[in-house]
Structure 1
Amino acid sequence: MNKEKIKPIIVPTYTEEKASKKSFLKKFPYFQKNKTPRKKVERKSHVLRKTPIIMPFLDITEEHIVMKKYFMDIFQITTNDLHSLTDTDITIKLLEKARFYRSSASQHKVVGLNFPANTEKQRLYWERKKERTTDPLRIRFINRKLFELEFIARERTNREFFLFVYAESSQTLEDEKKQVVRGMRQSFPLQTLSNEKKQDILFMMSNQNSKL
């Protein structure tokens, strides 16, 4: 007896069924739907009418921030790790701070805000390492490091402190700024900020439920 060869049964995949269905519909143009791509509507950001009335800020320059009734500028306070200082160092800093408050008559206030952790330098370092290597194990390790840095930047915050200085005129503000910088040089030195950082500070103070 001659044994007949059994032909294999080919089961069509999902893509093949989809292609055969399309070829069937091509025979009948009536069933074809002319799908026109929808245009994406770009929403323009707008400012509420009451916002300029409520907000006291008018303009920001390299020297100061112009407000409706006075002028203002912002400095960042350089903090210290109290656990790494001795009792004598802490006492000296407190005495210098107390002397500043007694001698200074400027209008100022200290503000503390939580800012996202800045991991940009670390991420740039590991990205350069990733470009220079071809080892899959090292690439896997670097990807893990980049993931951790992105998580830290997204979830963790740093407590930063700022000093707001106020004056009725721009010239008076410049004198007050010099006095404040000189008075806090020995205890908690002040750092000048860029306009972008100042805008971020004002944004966080005006939108306390929002993130940068």
Structure 2
Amino acid sequence: MTFSEEHEEQQALFDEQPFKKRKKKYKGSKPQKKKRSKAKASIAEIIPIRDMTDDGAFQIQEDEGYMDMMQLQSKDIYSPSMDETEYDIMMMAKFFQSYAADIKIVSMNFPVDMQRQLDAVDRRIKKNTSPLYERFLLRKREELGFLEQHRTNREFYLFIYASSLKQLTEYRNNCQRYLGRVAPLLPLTEEKKIDLLYKLYNQNSKLEKRG
């Protein structure tokens, strides 16, 4: 009798049926992995720029209009008098109130261009005959090279948007007229615009040349 009870208990201990059911239940409740979204094939599918027009503007993807950019000439905000500062603030406020189209002001750091100064020092080094003066010129050249490698200028740009090229030209003229006395707008070369877009979408990169 005792042996029979032990035998029944052993059968209960080694009964695999409950374990199989639990395993099947666990297998069915396993969460499914989500499919990863397909990566874009090229950078052209990510940035909103489609192409550059003949006059240097940019056509935006999916027929969203056109864009252009100009550089805002910065000025010293500490030396002017209080009246001049209040006038600048008033003119800027008037511009933002009267200009209803989309705009964007972007500030970026660009490397300092010291090539003209370096060329001038190199010419003096070639013509120089004094060893003492040559040592001074070489030191000056090292300083200019250091500034070009390690210093940047903070520059400001105005991005304007329009639905057509004709409207873009009108907006560009309006901005130049309203901001002429406060922050004159400087035109940019096509190379500088491309450098600006490259720097905008690759902010950790360093430009080796300027447009």
Q: TM-score, normalised by structure 1?
A: 0.74
Q: Which whole-Å CA distance do the structure 2 matches of 1:50 and 1:64 have between them?
A: 22
In 2: Cα distance, 1:66 partner to 1:131 partner: 48
Rg larger in 1 or in 2?
2
1:135 shift after superposition: 1.6
1:54 maps onto 2:49 in alignment: no
Please report how far the alpha carbon of residue 93 of structure 1 lies from its aligned counterpart in structure 2 after TM superposition: 0.6
Question: Gaps spanning 5+ residues in structure 1: where?
Answer: 1-47
| Structure 2: gaps (5+ residues) | 1-39
1:151 and 2:146 matched? yes
What corresponds to 1:121 in structure 2?
116
1:18 is matched with which residue? none
CA contact 2:56–2:190 (8 Å) conserved in 1: no
Instruction: Indicate which of 157, 161, 185 corresponds to 1:162.
Output: 157
Deviates more, 1:65-74 or 1:196-205: 65-74
Tell me which residue corresponds to 1:130: 125
Tell whether 2:167 aligns with 1:141. no
1:87 paired to 2:82: yes
How much does 1:103 deviate? 1.0
Greater than 3 Å deviation, 4+ residue runs: none
Letter in structure 1 aligned against 2:182: S
Between Structure 1 and Structure 2, the one with more helix by share is: 2
Q: Distance in 2 between matches of 1:185 and 1:148?
A: 36
Equivalent-residue separation in structure 1 for 2:75 and 2:136 (angstroms): 34
Aligned residue for 1:83, secondary structure, equals coil
The equivalent of 1:63 in structure 2 is 56
Post-superposition shift, 1:86? 0.9
TM-score of the superposition, structure 2-length normalised? 0.75
Contact 2:69/2:158 (8 A) holds in 1:
yes
SS in 2 for 1:84: coil
Deviation at 1:55, TM superposition (A): 1.7
Number of corresponding residues: 165
- Once the two structures are superposed, residues 52-82 of structure 1 have per-residue CA deviations (whole angstroms, 9 ceiling, x without a partner) of 1112212224331122122111110011111
Structure 1 residue aligned with 2:94: 99
For the aligned residue pairs, the C-alpha RMSD in angstroms reads 1.3
Letter in structure 2 aligned against 1:64 = A
